[in-house]
Amino acid sequence: MRKQNTNGDIPRYSEKNIPQKIAVFAIIIVIAMAVFSSFYRVSEQENAVVTMFGQIIRTDSAGLYFKVPFIQQVHIVDITTHGTGIGYIVSETGQNIDDDSNSVMITSDFNLLDIDFYLEYKVSDPVAYLYNSNEPEEILKNIALSSIRSTVVNYTVDEAMTTGKGQIQAEVKEDMIKELTEHNIGLQVVNITVQDSEPPTEEIIQAFKAVETAKQGADTAKNNALQYQNEKLPAAEAEADRILQNAEAQKASRIAEAEGQVARFNQMYDQYKLYPLITKKRMFYETMEDVLPSLKVIITDGDTQTLYPLDSFYDVQESTYEVSEGNG
């Protein structure tokens, strides 16, 4: 029972003490959280990467460790062996679903092969796994696909389905180890095995045949084009040479003709300077002969007279003009 004061009233707690009690309670909670967050345990299947202000402080293996609360961060990495399918997908129900886009490959004898692999891997470097790439598992799958394709293409379809499986597995693993070392994503290959290898479905085979038919058609068209080129190109080159030779011949002929005309003009000019009137008349007569080749030109010393020979009224179709030297 609560004690009553002398006046008989029940005493009340002071409201001034409530904020202090809340503050004390909050401090206790923060201290407890700090204490609990200062320690962390790493199992044998894990590694821990400790960072502070974005900088890597250390990497811890199995054990109990201390860290500075609220300042240092711990990133737990699973280092156990994991497995994934290459060429098929494992559904949530545990059933395998074919992934034809990644499982169908071409062999050295130009056949199609549906081949599946099971890849086992684990984290080898927690720091590289966390910080050297955004999706290390996806990069690992791409490297595996690249190595598988570059290896399977060196084997025939019969070898890949029977005696060559072991050799294919060994070569793929060796190539993946080399690629992972170069990429340094913190993962390593534990093992890779061929799960299944068989001819692909009929739809894929038909699609492959259609592609091969298209390639053969393209090769045929290319060969026909080359044959047409080989047939037409020499003739075209010969025609081009003939045209060039004709052009060169016409050029030489025109130049020679021009040079001859220039020489003739120079000679005529020299004569003109010595005998201007005679040269002028001669040029006039020569021009008349060129312009009127069917005319008869009669030159007289007296006055100009026009003669009408009798033969002009019969079979001769020529007109006769008589030109006097006195008239020029």
Which of 69, 83, 71, 72 minimizes the C-alpha distance to 60?
72
State the pLDDT confidence band at 29, using cuts at 50, 70 and 90. Answer: confident
Distances in Å between the Cα of 164 and the Cα atoms of 15, 88, 155, 194 are 86, 21, 8, 10
* Helices 276-291 and 202-274, axial angle in degrees (round to 10): 140
Tens of pLDDT, residue by residue over 83-115, are: 999 988 876 666 777 777 788 888 998 888 889
pLDDT above 90: percentage of residues in the chain: 31
Mean pLDDT (whole number) for 114-131:
94
For residue 297, the model assigns a pLDDT of: 56
Structure token digits, residue 55: 């900088």
Say how far apart CA 134 and CA 140 lie, in whole Å. Answer: 12
Instruction: Render 229-276 in DSSP notation, one character per residue.
Output: HHHHHHHHHHHHHHHHHHHHHHHHHHHHHHHHHHHHHHHHHHHHHH-H
For residue 171, the model assigns a pLDDT of: 95
Question: Residue 130's CB: how many other CB atoms inside 10 A?
Answer: 16
Q: What is the mean pLDDT of the chain?
A: 80
pLDDT above 70: percentage of residues in the chain: 77
Range of weakest confidence among 72-81, 256-265, 293-302, 304-313: 304-313
Amino acid identity of 103? S
Sign of the Cα torsion 135, 137, 138, 144 reads positive
Mean pLDDT (whole number) for 56-62:
91
> 133 vs 310, which has greater pLDDT?
133
Which of 187, 47, 45, 201 minimizes the C-alpha distance to 119?
187
Tens of pLDDT, residue by residue over 193-225, are: 998 888 877 776 677 677 778 888 888 899 888
Range of weakest confidence among 109-113, 156-160, 260-264, 307-311: 307-311
For residue 168, the model assigns a pLDDT of: 94
**Rounded to 5°, angle at Cα 292 from 287 and 295:** 120
**Rounded to 5°, angle at Cα 174 from 120 and 141:** 45
- 3-state secondary structure (DSSP) of residue 86: strand
Return the residue matching tokens 């690629």: 179
Say how far apart CA 243 and CA 248 lie, in whole Å. Answer: 8
Report pTM: 0.55
Tens of pLDDT, residue by residue over 158-184, are: 899 888 999 999 999 999 999 999 999
> 50 vs 204, which has greater pLDDT?
50
Range of weakest confidence among 218-222, 303-307, 315-319: 315-319
For residue 192, the model assigns a pLDDT of: 94
State the pLDDT confidence band at 9, using cuts at 50, 70 and 90. Answer: low
